Amino acid sequence: MVKTPIVKEGYIYIAVLGLVTIITALTLGTYWALIPGVFTAFVTFFFRNPKRDVPEDDTLIVSPADGKVMGVTEVYDDQFLNDKGIKVTIFLSVFDVHVNRSPVQGEIKFQQYTCGRFKPAYKESASCENERHAIGLENDKMRVLVTQIAGILARRIVSWVTLGTMLKQGERYGLIKFGSCTELIVPGTVEIFVKKGDRVKGGKTVIGRLREE
């Protein structure tokens, strides 16, 4: 998918702020241009798209996002798994990379976009009330569900995939603009390696491993 150092969705923000910085410098002086200049630098930083070394193991589940683990809970998923599973909730601050990655290799068998509110992404109710986009991935070993959830600042969820898309493990598939949350639901047979409070990196941190039957 998108492999440029800065995702294209950030170009317009960077260009506009860069132009404002130049105009401010020419009309008001360098000192005043520092303010839009800082915003330009931050937006460029926000839309960064770093390369990651992804583990090559089809029994592993890697993190779909950068951020902080807000919870690891047992759930019953009736959207895609139709079975008991384990939900890992990851909160992304405005300082985290906001590109989402596929936790496993597989085909997108389920996709659903839901309009909603824009509560702070760290609130528990955000997962069922906020704007969100879910994809269900399936391979010959397991099914997993990944949901991008908009936050109070995020007003747009970007997806670069559709039903039937084959994703490699760790492959970039979408983006949430500004503060947000990502949820991952895996089968109950997965041994989870992370806990609440842990910091994770998308495509790099191993969330868990499928237990051998």
Catalytic center residues: 180
**Sign of the dihedral through C-alpha 212, 200, 46, 153:** positive
Contact 103, 57 (CB under 8 A): no
Give the DSSP H/E element, type plus range, for residue 83. strand 83-92
Give residue 43's identity as a one-letter amino acid code.
V
- The tokens describing 13, both together, are 């923000």
Closest CA to 91 of 200, 204, 206: 200
Strands of the sheet with 60-62, listed across from one edge: 60-62, 206-210, 190-192
Stated length of the chain: 213
Contact 163, 109 (CB under 8 A): yes
CA 2/CA 20 separation, integer angstroms:
27
